[in-house]
Amino acid sequence: MIEDVITIIWKEIRELLLHRGRFRGGWTGLLFFAAIFGIFMPLQSGADWIKSPIGLLYWAWVPFLLVSGVVADSFAGERERHTLETLLASCLSDRAILFGKMAASILYGWGLTMTCVVLGLITTNIAYAKGHLLFYPAMIGIGIVVLSFLIATLSSALGVLVSLRASTVRQAQQTFSIAFFVLFIPLFLIPMLPETWRIKMLTVLSGININYQAILILVVTLLIILNIAIISIAMARFRRTRLIFV
C-alpha cells in the first residue's frame, strides 16, 4: 500500500506544483510564501521570533492555512474534472487513494511550514545572532514540529472527509469552512457568557501558574484523538461504490 500512497502523492504534488506544464510557475507562489513567513516576518519580529511561545500558535495556524487551500480539491476536484471515475476504476485500493490524498496535502502544508520554520531560524541567526547561535527552546521547537504536523493532519482529514461527498470544489470549500468553524464554536461562545461568569473565569485563569508544557501535551493529546476520530470516519465513508454520484 505504501507504494500506492507514494504514487498518489507523486501525482498530487505534480498537479499542485506544475503551472502550465512547468514547475517554474508553480514554485513562484511557494517561494513568495516562504519569503514572507521565513524572511520578512522573522526580520520584523527579531529574536522573539524563535523564543516566544506565541510562535506555537502562529505555526499551528500556518499549516492549517496551507492545507485548507488545497485539500478541498482532493476528491471534489477530481469529481468536477471527471477524473475520479477513472481513478476508482484502477487497481488502487480504497485506503491507498484516501491516505495518498491526505498525505499529499499534509506533505504540502507541513513541508512548506517546516521550510519556513528553518528559513526563519536562519534569517533570525543571520540578523540577530550577535556571535552566538540562536535556537528554538526545546519545548517550543518540538511543539512547533508536532503541533504543526497534527494541525496539518486535522485540516487534511477534515478536508478529505468533506471533499469525499462534495459535488464541486466550491461546495467542499464552503462545507469545510463551516466544519472548522463548528470545531471552534466553544471559543466564539465565550463573549456570550454572562459577565459574572467571564469575570470568574478570568480570575481562575489568572490565578493559575501557566505550565506551557502541560498545555502543549494536553493540546497534542486532544489533536491526536480528534485526528484518529476524523480519519476513522473518513475511512468508513470511503466507499468506492458511492463515490461517483453524490
Partner 1 sequence: MIFQNAITTKDLTRQFQTVQAVDNLTLEVPPGIVFGFLGPNGSGKTTTIRLLLGLLEPTRGQATVLGYNTATQSDQIRKNCGALLEHHGLYERLSAEDNLEFYGRVWHMPPSERKVRIKELLVHLDLWDRRKEIVGTWSHGMKQKLAFARALLHRPVLVFLDEPTAGLDPIAAAALREDLAAMAEREGLTVFLTTHNLAEAEKLCQQVAVIRQGKLLAIGSPESLRLQGGKPRLEIRGSLFSQALLSELRARSEIAGITQSDHQLVIELTKVTDVSPLVNLIVRSGAQVEEVIKTKASLEDVFLTLMEEEK
Size of site (CB under 8 A) for partner 1: 25
The three grid cell numbers given for residue 152, joined into one nine-digit string: 496539518
User: Contact between 36 and partner 1 (CB under 8 A)?
Assistant: no
User: Contact between 2 and partner 1 (CB under 8 A)?
Assistant: no
CB 3 within 8 Å of CB 99: no
User: Contact between 10 and partner 1 (CB under 8 A)?
Assistant: yes
User: Contact between 168 and partner 1 (CB under 8 A)?
Assistant: no
CB 147 within 8 Å of CB 59: yes
Closest to partner 1 by CB, 103 vs 152, is 103
User: Contact between 24 and partner 1 (CB under 8 A)?
Assistant: no
Closest to partner 1 by CB, 103 vs 144, is 103
Of the candidate residues 5, 39, 60, 92, the single one contacting partner 1 (CB under 8 A) = 92
| Residue 134 CA, distance from chain mean position | 27
For residue 75, count CB atoms less than 10 angstroms from its CB and return exposed for 0-12, middle for 13-18, buried for 19 or more.
buried
User: Contact between 241 and partner 1 (CB under 8 A)?
Assistant: yes
User: Contact between 198 and partner 1 (CB under 8 A)?
Assistant: no
Phi, psi of 168 (to 5 degrees): -135, 165
Other residues' Cβ atoms within 10 Å of the Cβ of residue 119: 16
Amino acid at 22: R
Q: From 120-128, 139-147, 180-188, 237-245, give the range in contact with partner 1 by CB under 8 A.
A: 237-245
Of the candidate residues 89, 178, 218, 225, the single one contacting partner 1 (CB under 8 A) = 89
CA distance 194 to 180: 25
Closest to partner 1 by CB, 7 vs 171, is 7
Closest to partner 1 by CB, 63 vs 100, is 100
Q: From 11-19, 104-112, 134-142, 211-219, give the range in contact with partner 1 by CB under 8 A.
A: 11-19
Task: Report the 3 state secondary structure along 160-225.
Answer: HHHHHCCCCHHHHHHHHHHHHHHHCHHHHHHHHCCHHHHHHHHHHHHHCCCCHHHHHHHHHHHHHH
Residues making contact with partner 1 (CB under 8 A): 3-4, 7, 10-11, 14-15, 18, 20-21, 81-83, 85-93, 240-241, 244
